[in-house]
């Protein structure tokens, strides 16, 4: 089971023309539909877009309808019913809307609208728990030092809010949302609401808008796609060598998601040590190299390694992600299992599995049969 929560713009879907990004999206859709839907996996989109702009994107791109949609920068959560109808999770809205006094927020922001510094966005972009404005990106400094400071100071005692300033494709956006709402808190609330374990949860993003989702305190798995913003890249480079929960993909857009999810494996050796990391190389005899590895010893001691080589003869079993079913290495293993070739190794029956960033359904107990 995979609980995949992904940002849309410039993570799953390229915002500018990108034939390779479009192709990755088609690959992602195919693999998700063919390999994961039947395994109770859940797909969640987590976007700053309103519900209206989400449907615009669905019509523009070949986007699968998700199981859940978090939209409006974490202010609304919807469930897609089997007939594609939407059901709003009102519990979330009720939770975040306490202390969010819309009328008072409008009063405070009115002076900045009158001055022309900000312009209220259309009705579809606003809600009872979100007020959004446009501004000229050339005024970014003034917005940050004057408007944001004023709004925060005016509202902090009565209606604590979060003010988000961003520039997207040449347009300035200023969003005022409840203090408790962001892409991270909404994602983790939904995870708890559905009772999904952290180790089955993967979040994907590309920009500072995804920061709260990336750096939440729950030990979920986080993927920054290869085309991510420079500051996100820097943050991931800093932490990913120390913490295997962070993965900086080399491929862009949905290709980065597939790359990251498909390469994380867990290996148990015959001595009882568990190695968890990204699969760098594997041979038919199951000799393999892992990178960014966390080794959990039989005594529970955890040791990080940058690079590990494991002999196939020492391996008791592999746990590989669902998506790896499409990988060439696993195709070879399947061929061996079906007796199409007998060189090198054989497969026993599954012996249980441990949670990973993606819970494995492929359970391969691998027993090396090569004669010495």
Binding positions for Mg ion, rule: CB under 5 A: 7, 9-11, 206-207
Which CB atom, from 112 or from 253, has the smaller least distance to Mg ion?
A: 253
Which CB atom, from 73 or from 174, has the smaller least distance to Mg ion?
A: 73
Helix residue spans in the chain (DSSP H): 19-31, 51-60, 90-97, 102-114, 140-142, 149-155, 183-194, 211-214, 230-240, 253-263, 328-337
- State in angstroms the smallest separation of the CB of 73 from Mg ion: 11
For tokens 């199409």, the residue is: 340
CB 315 within 8 A of CB 267: yes
- State in angstroms the smallest separation of the CB of 7 from Mg ion: 4
Which CB atom, from 76 or from 210, has the smaller least distance to Mg ion?
A: 210
Which CB atom, from 7 or from 273, has the smaller least distance to Mg ion?
A: 7
Tokens matching residue 273 = 């040590």
Q: What are phi and psi of 178, to 5 degrees?
A: -60, 145
Gyration radius of the chain over CA positions = 23
CB 332 within 8 A of CB 307: no
Which CB atom, from 236 or from 317, has the smaller least distance to Mg ion?
A: 236
- State in angstroms the smallest separation of the CB of 32 from Mg ion: 19
- State in angstroms the smallest separation of the CB of 370 from Mg ion: 48
- State in angstroms the smallest separation of the CB of 9 from Mg ion: 4
Residue 89 region by backbone torsions, left for phi larger than 0, else alpha for psi between -120 and 50, else beta = beta
- State in angstroms the smallest separation of the CB of 141 from Mg ion: 24
Which CB atom, from 56 or from 90, has the smaller least distance to Mg ion?
A: 56
Give Cα 336 to chain centroid, integer Å.
34
- State in angstroms the smallest separation of the CB of 229 from Mg ion: 9
- State in angstroms the smallest separation of the CB of 211 from Mg ion: 11
- State in angstroms the smallest separation of the CB of 167 from Mg ion: 13
Which CB atom, from 7 or from 259, has the smaller least distance to Mg ion?
A: 7
Rounded distance between C-alpha atoms, residue 1 and residue 6, angstroms: 16
Which CB atom, from 54 or from 275, has the smaller least distance to Mg ion?
A: 54
Tokens matching residue 370 = 């090569």
Which CB atom, from 9 or from 67, has the smaller least distance to Mg ion?
A: 9
Rounded distance between C-alpha atoms, residue 137 and residue 145, angstroms: 14
Residue 132 region by backbone torsions, left for phi larger than 0, else alpha for psi between -120 and 50, else beta = beta
Which CB atom, from 9 or from 322, has the smaller least distance to Mg ion?
A: 9
- State in angstroms the smallest separation of the CB of 18 from Mg ion: 14
Rounded distance between C-alpha atoms, residue 313 and residue 286, angstroms: 8
Residues with Cβ within 8 Å of 98's Cβ and at least 6 positions away in sequence, in order, are 178
* Closest-CA residue to 134 (of 172, 177, 175): 172
DSSP letters, 318-335, are EEE-GGGGGSHHHHHHHH
**CA distances from residue 12 to 312, 344, 365 in whole angstroms, order as listed:** 36, 39, 34
């Amino acid at each position: 089971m995979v609980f995949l929560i992904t940002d849309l713009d410039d993570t799953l879907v390229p915002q500018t023309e990108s034939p390779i990004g479009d192709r990755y999206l088609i690959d992602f859709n195919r693999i998700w539909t063919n390999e994961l839907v039947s395994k109770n996996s859940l797909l969640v989109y987590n976007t700053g877009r309103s519900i209206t702009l989400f449907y615009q994107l669905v019509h523009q791109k070949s986007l699968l309808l998700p199981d859940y949609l978090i939209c409006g920068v974490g202010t609304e959560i919807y469930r897609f019913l089997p007939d594609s109808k939407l059901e709003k999770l009102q519990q979330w809205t009720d939770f975040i809307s306490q202390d969010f006094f819309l009328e008072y927020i409008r009063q405070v922001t009115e002076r900045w609208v009158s001055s022309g510094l900000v312009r209220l966005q259309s009705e579809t972009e606003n809600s009872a728990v979100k007020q959004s404005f446009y501004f000229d990106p050339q005024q970014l400094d003034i917005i940050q030092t004057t408007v944001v400071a004023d709004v925060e100071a005016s509202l902090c005692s009565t209606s604590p809010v979060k003010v988000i300033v961003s520039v997207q494709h040449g347009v300035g956006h200023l969003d005022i949302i409840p203090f408790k709402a962001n892409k991270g808190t909404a994602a983790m609330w939904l995870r708890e609401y559905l009772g999904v374990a952290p180790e089955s949860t993967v979040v994907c993003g590309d920009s500072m808008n995804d920061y709260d989702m990336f750096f939440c305190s729950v030990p979920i798995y986080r993927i920054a796609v290869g085309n991510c913003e420079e500051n996100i890249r820097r943050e991931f480079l800093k932490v990913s060598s120390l913490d295997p929960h962070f993965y900086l993909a080399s491929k862009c857009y949905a290709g980065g998601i597939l790359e990251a999810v498909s390469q994380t494996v867990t290996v148990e050796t015959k001595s009882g040590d568990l190695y968890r990391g990204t699969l760098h190389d594997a041979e038919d005899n199951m000799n393999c190299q892992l990178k960014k590895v966390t080794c959990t010893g039989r005594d529970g001691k955890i040791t990080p390694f940058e690079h590990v080589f494991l002999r196939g003869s020492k391996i008791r079993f592999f746990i590989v992600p669902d998506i790896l079913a499409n990988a060439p290495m696993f195709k070879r293993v399947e061929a061996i299992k079906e007796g199409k070739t007998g060189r090198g190794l054989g497969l026993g029956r599954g012996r249980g599995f441990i949670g990973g960033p993606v819970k494995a359904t492929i359970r391969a107990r691998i027993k090396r049969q090569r004669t010495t």
